[in-house]
Chain A
Amino acid sequence: MTSTPTSAAPPLLKGGGKGSTAMLRKIRKVALPYGYLTPTVVLLTILMIIPIVMVVGYSMMNNVIMIKNPVFVGFQHYVEILTSDAFRNALQNTLFFDIVSVVVHLLLGFGFAMMLNSPMLGKVTKSIFRTIYVLPWLFTVAIIAVLWRLLLEPTGVINYLLMTFHLTTTQIEWLSNPDIALYAVTFINIWSGYPFYMTSLLAGLQGIPKDYYEAAEVDGASGWQKLIYITLPQLRPIIIAMALLDFIWTTQQFALIWMTTGGGPLGTTEMLSTYTYKFAFSTYQFGSAAASAVIILVISMVLTYLYVRAQKVKY
């Protein structure tokens, strides 16, 4: 471990000041925590702070990266993007994708967690079903994308099942029909993301003191009343935190869209992330791409601010 390049700083400072003057010892003492923080600070400065400054700079330049002497254009890219139909379309799709994903994730995750927390089930049954329910979580987005492309192929197994049960008479083009594709990718995202809610809510449910329910039973509360007046209020901080986090993550979702529809057909599944990526790596408009990336950064920052504030309310 000590041979790693990033580890150079702390060992230099470890001497503890033997045989040095009081002044030197004092300097070492002050410098010590900074020594421990040096690798982190260096890495985050070069690969986080500087890139953010760069991207903000790029966003105000014309033809940046592509030509040697880009021109400063101020907020021109921002104005162009914010007033374009393509951006509004991507924003609308992202909002639909985000809101439906978050709401259904929450409902499914809560449903699964309630089932797994049921006192009617034995310990072994619970752990078997918990393992099954957590399965989608074990796959990376790239795998989830190809798996669902296989399942949703027009000649694939899902269409076969739907036709067998006479739910449809024709093969549905799930990912290439402009009227359906957005629902299809949202469904895939729901499938892949609910286990996170389930495990967190299950932990939350197990943390609710049993005597709350016992007291409610003494007062003759129904199952529904217990849910409304005890379970949900107790889970509220977890629910708010997860919904905001999920909203942030879903807004940033790129791989799933890119590998299933690529934003198509006809831009019906275009998200802010794919919209930005295409600016940079399909049409090489790095100035516009940077402006779009900064807009996503601002959205994320606002959401994160809300998240942190919600966390503070909790404690």
Chain B
Amino acid sequence: MKSEPQRRGKRNPFAMAGLIVALLAGAAFAALPVLWMLSSSFKPNTDIFQNPPHLIPTTFTLDAYTKIFTDPVKVRFFVNSYFISLAVTALTLFVSVLAAFAFSRFDFPFKSALNVVIVSVQAVPPITLLIPYFGLMVGLGLYNTYQGLILTYMVFTLPYAIIMLTGYFNTLPRELDEAVKVDGGSSWTALWRVLVPISVPGLVSVGIYTFMIAWNEYLFALTLTKTVDMRTVPIGIQLLMGQHSYEWNQMMSMSILGCIPVLLLFLFFQRYFIGGMSAGAVKN
């Protein structure tokens, strides 16, 4: 197996050349827009549409970043996004661990009916819920609050989290929790002392997925918040457009800052990232 790449490479130089051209063309397609974003974030706003354009800024400045970090309103967008996303992740994991435990380890009336409900609510489009949510959130006193957005996002993250974790728990032998019961422990102990600690890979996968859903959400963040101090990063970027002029360099630097948590998650947990996302798509 190991000698195979070289053997084939030598056998067909034309295929190799074609492959390299295709690889580079693909890389340009994927990466050039991103490089342009990075480059624009280090330009003064007056240089954004300079003619001819330069990928390497002619005047390199951290001005756009400074303006974001020194503006409490813009810093607040990030604080909001981090707080909401982390809270959604923690709560989703907690609630879904409990539900997945019930689905994986107990038999009870209406189990399959509940399971069908959880699978099918995934198909409900956000826009369908948006209209009743507006009134509902105002009625519950949750309009323009963190709690409102956190609970909303959990509705979209929970079903997937429960399905994934139920699958994960199902792969763990029941003897593990039986042993706890023999020692006089409750099911609660078995769950938190035995199952959860050995389910860390599954929890990381689900956690990353959940964090990304919350971090990226736009529609409800736009509609269920009103004041500028409650806005999240995706809405904050949009707020830089319009008012007086387009602060393109700040929009780009905010975009770069906005993708950092996702980038870090990707770099450190690449395996879980791709595994979780595609498994969710292909399996559930």
Contact = CB atoms under 8 A, between A and B. Distances in A.
B127 A273 contact: yes
Contact of A142 (B37, B126, B238): B238
Interface residues of A, number: 99
B48 interface: yes
B58 interface: no
B164 interface: no
Given A139-B255, A255-B218, A50 B136 contact: yes
Nearest to B1: A210
Contacts of A156: 49
Given A119-B8, A242-B281, A40 B128 contact: no
Contacts of B235: 142
Contacts of A286: 131
Interface stretch (B22-30, B60-68, B170-178, B200-208): B22-30
B277 interface: yes
Contacts of B151: 43, 47
Interface string B147-159: 0000110110011
Interface in A112-149: 112, 115, 118-122, 129, 132-136, 138-143, 146-148
Given A290-B131, A297-B125, A135 B99 contact: no
A140 B259 contact: yes
Contacts of B106: 32-33, 36
A118 B127 CA distance: 41
A48 interface: yes
Given A4-B94, A121-B5, A293 B237 contact: no
Contacts of B198: none
Contact of A293 (B15, B26, B128): B128
Interface in B118-141: 118-136
A248 B241 CA distance: 30
B33 interface: yes
A65 B134 CA distance: 10
Nearest to B223: A281
Interface residues of B, number: 98
B36 A44 contact: no
B27 A129 contact: yes
Interface in B47-75: 48-49, 51-53
A153 B252 contact: no
Contacts of B182: none
A97 interface: no
- Residue among B95, B106, B127, B274 with the highest chain A CB neighbour number at 10 A: B127
B19 A120 contact: yes
- Residue among A30, A120, A196, A273 with the highest chain B CB neighbour number at 10 A: A120
21 contacts: A10-B188, A14-B186, A36-B102, A37-B114, A43-B95, A47-B155, A51-B129, A52-B132, A55-B131, A112-B26, A120-B8, A120-B16, A135-B34, A146-B237, A146-B241, A150-B248, A153-B49, A157-B36, A286-B131, A290-B131, A293-B131
Interface of A: 1, 4, 6-7, 10-11, 13-16, 30, 32-34, 36-37, 39-41, 43-44, 47-48, 50-52, 54-55, 58, 65, 111-112, 115, 118-122, 129, 132-136, 138-143, 146-148, 150-151, 153, 155-157, 160, 164, 191, 195-196, 199-200, 203-204, 210, 237-238, 241-242, 245, 248, 251-252, 254-255, 258-259, 273, 276-277, 280-281, 286, 289-290, 293-294, 296-297, 300-301, 303-304, 308, 311
